[in-house]
Structure 1
Amino acid sequence: MEKYIYDESNGLWYELQGDYYIPCLTLPTEKENKPIGLWGQRHKRYLQECKKAVYITLLTSGRLNSYLADIDEQATEMMFRLVEQMADKEGVTEQLKTERPMLWVGRINEIQARAREIVNAEIIYA
């Protein structure tokens, strides 16, 4: 038996695996390979665990990487915007940073934690 055969009726190549011919299928390649950061990785894990159909659809259509890169970019921008807005609203300024650095660190950490929760709820796990 031949290792590879071509079926003209459907245009697919088949490879011999044991006693069976298995179609040689490949995923489509994405046009751009953008880097995926922390937020994109979290969303990917969420899709894999909770939204399997969406994950498989994006993966097999060749759009998963660009989708995750877009989610990562949106989440990063939202995080920076929220931290900046909350810090301004609560009076956490550069002056506080120079006068009372430990207080500033504590307040910024609280603000970042709240902003992370908002980003997780509205983008990552939505």
Structure 2
Amino acid sequence: MKIEYEKVGEYYLPNLTVKEKKINLSKYGRMKLRYMKKYQKILYTNLLTNGGLYEYLESIDHQANALYDKLLVDMKRQRNITEELKQENQMLWIQEMNNIDACINEIIYDEYIYN
């Protein structure tokens, strides 16, 4: 790794900048970032200075979204939530889907965000 220096007055100071890869994070990646900034400051600082913060957040985001999709299908099958129910009783379908969404979010928060 080549370090470049910049002359400031009589001194040469190193140009220490971290090149950040810009990625689009979904809800879970942004929540993990917010949680790390507030409660896991050492981990956040280490990942930020090593340049691995966005790869870490992207990994958490991808894993959380994959788990959400898997659990959504499993819970819908387990509770017998079908498109026929949606056609017959929309309010019950919405109630069940909101309940499933809340359950899945609690699991993801516990396993990926607040861990």
Q: TM-score range by the shorter chain?
A: 0.7 to 0.9
- For residue 19 of structure 2, what is the aligned residue in structure 1? 29
Q: Tell me, yes or no, if the aligned pair for 1:40 and 1:69 is still in contact at 8 Å.
A: yes
- Which structure 1 segments of 5+ residues have no match? 1-9
How far apart are residue 94 of structure 1 and its match? 1.1
- After TM superposition, the score normalised by the length of structure 1 is 0.79
Q: Contact conserved, 1:15 with 1:21, CA < 8 A, in 2?
A: yes
CA contact (8 A) 2:4 2:15 kept: no
Aligned residues of 1:43 and 1:125 also touching (Cα < 8 A): yes
Cα pair 2:4 2:14 within 8 Å, conserved = no
Contact 1:47 1:54 in 2 (8 A): yes
Identity %: 32
Give the aligned partner of residue 13 of structure 1.
6
After superposition, the C-alpha distances for 1:67-89 in whole angstroms (9 at most, x for unaligned) are 11111111111111111111110
- State the match for 1:3 in structure 2: none
TM-score, length-normalised on structure 2?
A: 0.86
CA–CA separation in structure 2 for the residues paired with 1:36 and 1:103: 32
Count of residues paired in the alignment:
113
Query: Gaps (5+ residues) in structure 2?
Result: none
Q: Of residues 32, 48, 71 in structure 2, which corresponds to 1:82?
A: 71
Distance of 1:92 and 1:84 partners within structure 2: 10
> Given the alignment of the two structures, is residue 93 of structure 1 paired with residue 82 of structure 2, yes or no?
yes
Are 1:27 and 1:61, in contact at CA under 8 Å, matched by a contact in 2? Answer: no
Distance 1:101 1:86 in 2: 18
Q: CA–CA distance in 2 between the matches of 1:25 and 1:37?
A: 32
Please identify the structure whose Cα radius of gyration is greater.
Answer: 1
- After superposition, residues 1-126 of structure 1 pair within 5 angstroms as 12-16=5-9, 23-30=13-20, 32-126=21-115
For the 8 Å contact 1:14–1:21, the answer to whether it is kept is: yes
Cα deviation, residue 21, structure 1: 5.9
Which has the larger share of strand? 1
